[in-house]
Structure 1
C-alpha cells in the first residue's frame, strides 16, 4: 500500500485537530489520537521497507514521531493540570 506525504500529513493534521478540539471533553480522545499516530508510524515503517520513496516515507515518519511527542506532551500537561 502506498502512502503519499500529503495524505499522511492531512491525516495527522486531522487527528491532531480533532484531538485538540475535543481535548476539553475527555482524555480518551488524546489516547485515541496517540494510537492512530502510532498505527500510522507502523504503516510508514512497513512502506519504507519497499524500494526508495525518494525520502518521503522517512520524512513522513519523522513528522509522525514529532506529532506523537506533541500528543504525549499534551496528555502529560493535562494530567499535571488535573483537568
Structure 2
C-alpha cells in the first residue's frame, strides 16, 4: 500500500474544493459539499448520509441529504468541472 504525505493529500483536496467551489452560490452548501467529500475519502466503514454527517460533526443527515447540494454539484460536475477533474 502506498504511503501518501498528509500535506500532499490536503493540497490536492484544496485544489478539488477550489475546482467545485463555483458550483455553489452560497458558502453553506460549499462547506457541506466539502464535508461530504471528506467523509467519502475518510476511513469510516459506512458511507451513508448518517455516517457522513456524524463524521462532519452534524447531529443528523439533513444537510448531507439536501437535494440542492447534490443536484447542483451533479449538474456542475457534468458541465464545467469534469474536464478539470480528469487531470
More helix by share: 1
Indicate the structure whose relative CO is greater, using CA pairs within 8 Å and at least 6 residues apart.
Answer: 1
Same fold per superposition (TM over 0.5): no
TM-score by length of 1: 0.33
TM-score by length of 2: 0.32
